[in-house]
Amino acid sequence: MTRILIADDHEVVRSGLRAIIEAQPRWEVVGEATDGKDAVRKAVDLKPDVAILDYSLPLINGVEATRQICARSPGIEVLIFTMHDSETLIFDLLKAGARGYLLKSDAGRFLISAIESLAAHKPFFTARVSQTLLDSYLTRSGTTECILTPRERGVIQLIAEGNSNKQIANILTISVKTVETHRAAVMRKLNLSSAAGLVRYAVRNKIIEA
């Protein structure tokens, strides 16, 4: 059996994925998660062959969840399933260890192929995403967004979601001092002076949903 974990904070998306997956012979959904922290915990506990993660997960986003899953259970293949078509996001996820990236708008055509590829430990990208990667590689410039590390983007998400430094430290399992360091670095890099400005940046750059 190919064992699959689904992580998305929308029940209708999880139900749709489960219906498609369980219609395939010898495929089974072994668990569902509604936030990034739960996705990591269930991936480590359940040891699926493939973890399908939405990028915009609460608590910790798809990049950080991917990084933690790949570090703690390297045999699990991660497929990012998202509505966001962003070259920066794709690069961050590849660095974190994901080997598949599928836009939700392409799910009807490519979901089964994506899972088959990852279950065979082969990467999967649609032609559209591959073109985005190629164009980005050829034209990428040092934009403000590119200078942020994946961890800094994760901290931005948690701040924008209203978490305190202490709450962020608990969620990411780091010290409050480290959170403060990341926060100061983000504010400096983005030339921001308030949390409100950070929230606006997070919405504008699709780190959180408006």
Write the pLDDT tens digit of every residue in 108-127.
Answer: 899 999 999 999 999 998 87
174 and 124 inside one domain: no
What's residue 204's pLDDT? Answer: 82
pLDDT average, residue stretch 46-58: 94
Domain count of the fold of the chain:
2
What's residue 147's pLDDT? Answer: 73
Note down the domain range covering 169: 145-204
pLDDT at 144 over 70: no
Confidence of residue 178 (pLDDT cuts 50, 70, 90): very high
What's residue 136's pLDDT? Answer: 61
125 and 62 inside one domain: yes
209 within domain boundaries: no
pLDDT at 38 over 90: yes
pLDDT at 66 over 50: yes
Closest CA to 115 of 53, 55, 59, 166: 53
If DSSP codes are grouped into helix, strand and coil, which group holds residue 202? helix
103 and 46 inside one domain: yes
CATH of the domain at 28: 3.40.50.2300
99 and 15 inside one domain: yes
pLDDT average, residue stretch 184-194: 86
Q: Which of 111, 139, 167 is the last residue of a domain?
A: 139
29 and 66 inside one domain: yes
pLDDT at 130 over 80: no
User: Burial level of 152, CB count in 10 A (0-12/13-18/19+)?
Assistant: middle
Q: Which two tokens stand for residue 103?
A: 């836009």
Confidence of residue 137 (pLDDT cuts 50, 70, 90): low
Backbone conformation region of residue 206, classed left if phi is above 0, alpha if psi is from -120 to 50, else beta: left
8 and 66 inside one domain: yes
191 and 125 inside one domain: no
Q: Which of 121, 139, 157 is the last residue of a domain?
A: 139
Q: How far apart are CA 126 and CA 103, in angstroms?
A: 9
185 and 124 inside one domain: no
8 and 104 inside one domain: yes
Average pLDDT, the chain: 88
CATH of the domain at 165: 1.10.10.10
Q: How far apart are CA 183 and CA 185, in angstroms?
A: 5
194 within domain boundaries: yes
Q: What percent of the chain has pLDDT over 90?
A: 55
Q: Which of 92, 112, 139 is the last residue of a domain?
A: 139
Q: What is the largest CA-CA distance in the chain?
A: 54
What's residue 9's pLDDT? Answer: 93
Residues 6+ apart with CB under 8 A from 3: 28, 30, 46, 47, 48, 49, 50
pLDDT at 140 over 60: no
What's residue 135's pLDDT? Answer: 66
pLDDT average, residue stretch 163-167: 93
102 and 176 inside one domain: no
CA angle 128, 132, 134 (to 5 degrees): 115
